[in-house]
Amino acid sequence: NAGVTQTPKFQVLKTGQSMTLQCAQDMNHNSMYWYRQDPGMGLRLIYYSASEGTTDKGEVPNGYNVSRLNKREFSLRLESAAPSQTSVYFCASSDPDRGDGNTIYFGEGSWLTVV
């Protein structure tokens, strides 16, 4: 079972460059998320998509944009990368209506360094 798949796994960007992180899930979940994880900070929500066609800001949305392309895919775009965006990015999905308390399933992470 693939679960949540995200690409690329590693990326080095120069300040000011743009890039898109891709994510797809095969669990037929309605909700998808992008988190970033920094040492000592825990996981912080960047954006989420409650269902196909909707997106909402999370805790730390500045500098990012997202697209919910269809039910399976949710991409994260950095328009002009900054060193403060050096982090590990996790895509995730869940389905609040499945009665599992909104358990979140994560992709393997994308390690992004901005120099």
Partner 1 sequence: RKEVEQDPGPFNVPEGATVAFNCTYSNSASQSFFWYRQDCRKEPKLLMSVYSSGNEDGRFTAQLNRASQYISLLIRDSKLSDSATYLCVVNDGGFKTIFGAGTRLFVKA
53 binds partner 1 per the rule CB under 8 A? no
Structure tokens at 4: 């949540």
- Near partner 1 by CB under 8 A: residue from 12, 18, 56, 97: 56
- Near partner 1 by CB under 8 A: residue from 19, 27, 45, 69: 45
- How many residues sit in the footprint of partner 1 (CB under 8 A)? 22
46 DSSP assignment? E
Do β-strands 10-13 and 110-114 pair in parallel, antiparallel, or remain unpaired? parallel
41 binds partner 1 per the rule CB under 8 A? yes
